[in-house]
Amino acid sequence: MGLIGRLFGIPSFAGSTNALLVELTLPTLSDPQRAELKARAVEVFRKIRSPDISAEAALADLNHVSRITQLNILALAMKELGYKPVFSTERLRKVQDPFAPDLVDEHTLRAVARRLKWAHGIEAHIGEEPISFDSW
């Protein structure tokens, strides 16, 4: 089994792929799509973390989790809404827990970024700061 084949079987491959694809896709979304995605991301967050908290409290909490977690929650929301990644040949991956500490590691993130650069000619990287959904 080759390197890519081995990568497909590890959770950090799914988390890294989702994070990079969502990072590349977000700038291409229209304002109505972003609003719909934000609402769905809040629902996904509530479903995973605490269904009893209000949408406002969930949004406040979502604003303070790591960007990697946010991007993977957005990936789940995008899948539910039927939104596709910016590259038609790529697909968002299923992740069991977007809060898992081993969801993304630097080595796998670099490998996925290299694969995207090779396949699509685009440099992909994760932003430094968490997303502020209040500004959407």
Tokens linked to 23: 């990072």
- Cα–Cα distance for residue pair 24/125, rounded to 1 Å: 8
Q: Yes or no: say if 23 and 76 are a contact pair by the CB < 8 Å rule.
A: no
Q: SS3 for 25?
A: helix
99-to-1, 13, 28, 119, 121 alpha-carbon distances in Å: 29, 15, 25, 28, 30
Q: What is the pTM of this model?
A: 0.89
How does DSSP classify residue 10?
A: S
CB atoms within 10 A of CB 120: 14
- Cα–Cα distance for residue pair 61/42, rounded to 1 Å: 9
Q: Yes or no: say if 58 and 46 are a contact pair by the CB < 8 Å rule.
A: yes
Flag residues of the chain having pLDDT under 70.
1-11
Which amino acid, one-letter code, is at 73? I
- Cα–Cα distance for residue pair 11/100, rounded to 1 Å: 9
Specify the pLDDT at position 9.
Answer: 54
Q: Could you state, in order of their start, the residue ranges of all structural domains in the chain?
A: 3-122
Specify the pLDDT at position 112.
Answer: 94
Dihedral, CA atoms, 38, 44, 46, 51, nearest 10 degrees? 140
Specify the pLDDT at position 71.
Answer: 97
pLDDT in tens, 40-69: 999 999 999 888 999 999 999 999 999 999
